[in-house]
Every structure is written in structure tokens, then in C-alpha cells.
Amino acid sequence: MLDPALLRTRPEEIARRLRETRGFEFDADALERLETERKLIQVRTQELQNLRNTRSKAIGQAKVKGEDVAALLAEVAGFGDELKASEGRLEAIRGEIDAIVRTLPNLPDNNVPLGADESANVEQHRWGDVPQFDFEVRDHVELGARHGWLDADAGAKLSGARFTVLRGKLARLHRALAQFMLDLHVNEHGYEETSVPLIVNAETMEGTAQLGKFVEDMFATRVGDSTRYLIPTAEVPLTNIVRDEIVEAADLPLRMTAHSMCFRAEAGSHGRDTRGMIRQHQFEKVEMVSVTRPEDSDAEHERMTRCAETVLERLGLPYRRMLLCSGDMGFAARRTYDLEVWLPSQQTYREISSCSNVGDFQARRMQARWRNPGTGKPELVHTLNGSGLAVGRTLIAVMENYQRADGSIGIPDVLRPWMGGDDVIA
């Protein structure tokens, strides 16, 4: 959520910046009208509340003295209805302002390139050599289906389109990837392993700005009068751990990682991505979340992205880092790096990790704060999140980059301890 003080004092400037950077339009005039009305009604409400308190005190004193309080009671009754209506209207206006503010995306950082879509993203660097094959390259669907390892038909029978059943050594390879990533982030990168709920309440989803316009992309469950949501990423519960908390400065940065199932409805069609495992309704991811002091978040963003890159480098997978332009970033992000891995079957790089610095955008929604030792006062933290990595897409990349002419798949050295020492699956 953007700073309400900025929206009150510079609404036209914020509207201009959102229009120029995000292509997002919002009615600043409507917000200003609501703010003007809020101020007037708030002043009148406070006057009426003070008047009520003064008269109530006078009634008490008169009763003690045995004086007639009929006139005072009549006066209180006279402005009581106005006070009730004023308080109701004030609450309604605040709700309208809050509803508008919650629809506004984060403002991009000053060093984020301007652009409307991914064509304006800027490549930062590449790592690794693209593999060359002396046989016809197969995609992950063909590699998996020919051995019965990847079964989309069984997934469709059980749950519908965009669900997959993994079997045998491919299922084990998928598990090995998750274990490798988790151990790397915990043992070498200093993240605390965390196990989180997969079903969360609306307040938790709202804390990381997942509801609103994104609600149609969420799977929900309803028990009685309670609606809860299946998490789209472990970012949601991990970040909300500090909701309504004041973290001591000595405990920052907080670095947490979790391996979890993720669920996304993604109702729209994405062409070839609906085939195989690239875009599934249910998938697994190892997530990284950091909570930092504001002055440390840019450095933490670089560190987090390097942690994700290290996973790809240890696996020997060619990738490139992209700095996303203003129009291609997520709703809550102020700066985002995407890591894209090489897929031989598509002869291109595809996203496998997204690492974002959100600034205080989520913290303001969650009232997540730290105690500044310089002032002794609570201030908003900065939050960051990143994929470290998407397990299914990493499996696809390993399958395609390590494929052999006979359809077998080589196993990267770092995964062999989780594969019983095997160097190939066939």
C-alpha cells in the first residue's frame, strides 16, 4: 500500500507517476474530494464528541449536587443523532479511501527501466554455455511420457486440465531438486527453514496484496461461514509472520525459506504453456523471504538474487538475469529481477525465478515494523521475496538440458546424493 501521506498531499503527482510507469490510471480528483469531505466530517465529529464528553461530565457534576439535569439531557439527545450519523459517514468515507488506495500498485524504483511489457526488460548478464546436441531435441513432455514418468492423462482424470502425475525416478528427481535447493539456502545462504500452512485467511492474503484484482486467480475453500485460500506461493505465509509485529533491530535481517505446494487458478489460456508442466494449477516452489531495515533492502535484493543464481549454477543450467521494466513488474514490486533458464526445445530462455524488492508496500498493509534504535520508535520494515527456485520448471530445465540421444536424462552431480548415487535415469 502506498504512503497515505503522499496520496493526501501529492495525489496528482502519484497519479502521473503511476500513469507514466505502470500505465495505471486512477481518479486523483475523486480521492481529493473524499479527503476534503473526510477532513470536514472528522472535525465536526470531534467537535460533537467533545461536546458530548463535556455535557456528560456536567450532567455527572449536576447529579452530585442534586441539580436538575433535564435541560442537559435534552441537549445531549439533540446532538446525539447528528454525532451518530457523522461517525457513520466518517467510517464510510475512510472505507472508500482505503478501497481506492488498495487498488494502487507500488511505485517503481527510480532505476527501473520504463516500458509497457517484457520487450522493454533489460538483460543484466548471462551465465553458462547453451548445450549443443547432435540429435533431435525432445521437449520435457516427450521425454517424460515415453517412459511413463510424466502422466498428464492421469492428472486430468484425477483433477482436470493442468495437473500432472509424476512417477518413478522422475518423481524422485523432482524431490531431489527441492531438497537440494532447501539445503543450499539453509546451510550456505543463511535462511531459516520454515514450514508454513498451505491454507490461509483473507487477512493473510491481503497482507501481501494477493486479493483484490487477483482473487480470480486464487483457489478458495469454504467451511461454514469461513473462506480461506490456498497459497499461490509461500511468500504469503512467510511474509505475514511479521504482520502486526515490531521486530527488534538486532534480529534483522530475517531470512526465511520454505518448500511448499503452490496453487494458482490462472483462468486464462497461455498457449503452449498449458502443455506439460510449465504452467500448472498445482506446483512446488522453494521460496525465499527477507525482512530488512529500509536502508538494507537494495543490498538484500542483490544477495537474494545471487542465492537463486547459485542454484542454477550448481545445477549447470545456462541462464540470464533480466531487470524487469515498470510495466512488466508485479503489483507489489518496486524492483524485480527475473532469472530465465535455457530450454533447448524452445530455443529460448524462460522464467524460472522472480526476485522482488517490495519496499514498505506490504509492511504498511501488515503493520510490520522494526524498532529503530536511533529514535526508539517503530518504523515500517522492507520485505523481499524470491523463488529459489520453482521446482517443476527446474525439473523441466534439467530434463531438457541433460537429455541424451536414447531418451535418458543425465543427473547433475549435486543431485546424486538424493538419487542414490545414480548419474542417469532411463
Q: Give the count of beta carbons closer than 10 Å to the beta carbon of residue 374.
A: 8
In angstroms, the CA 391 to CA 176 distance is 10
Distance of CA 196 to the CA centre of its chain: 15
Tell me whether residue 56 is one of the annotated catalytic residues. Answer: no
Of 293, 257, 280, nearest to 371 (Cα)? 293
Q: Is 332 labelled as part of a ligand binding site? A: no
Identify the residue whose cell numbers are 439531557: 73
Kind and range of the H or E run holding 12: helix 11-22
Tell me, what DSSP letter sits at residue 114?
Answer: P
Q: Is residue 8 annotated as part of the catalytic site, yes or no?
A: no
User: How far is residue 314's CA from residue 374's CA, in Å, rounded to a whole number?
Assistant: 41
Catalytic residue among 172, 321, 365, 393: 393
Query: Of residues 96, 351, 364, 408, which has the active-site annotation?
Result: 351
* 287 labelled ligand-binding: yes
Instruction: For residue 120, say whether it is annotated as part of any ligand binding site.
Output: no
Is 52 annotated to bind a ligand? Reply is no
Say whether 234 counts as a known binding-site residue: yes
Q: Which of helix, strand or coil describes residue 289?
A: strand
Alpha carbons within 13 A on the beta-carbon side of 311? 38
Residue 352 annotated as part of some ligand binding site: yes
Q: Which of 264, 321, 335, 369 is catalytic?
A: 264
Known binding residue 159? Answer is no
Write the DSSP string, 302-365.
HHHHHHHHHHHHHHT--EEEEEPPTTTS-TT-SEEEEEEEEETTTTEEEEEEEEEEEETHHHHH
The answer on whether 385 is annotated among ligand-binding residues is yes
Q: How far is CA 301 from the centre of its chain?
A: 14
Q: Which of 215, 261, 232 is nearest to 103 (CA)?
A: 215
Please name which of 388, 325, 381 lies closest in space to residue 355, comparing C-alpha atoms: 388
From the candidates 86, 260, 354, 356, which is the catalytic residue?
354
Q: Does the active-site annotation cover 91?
A: no
Q: Please say if 416 is a catalytic residue.
A: no
Residue 264 annotated as binding? yes
Active site residue 393: yes
Q: Which of 138, 162, 279, 321 is catalytic?
A: 279
Instruction: Give the catalytic positions in this structure.
Output: 264, 279, 351, 354, 393
Annotated binding site for ATP: 264-266, 351-354
Annotated binding site for L-serine: 233-235, 264, 287, 385, 387
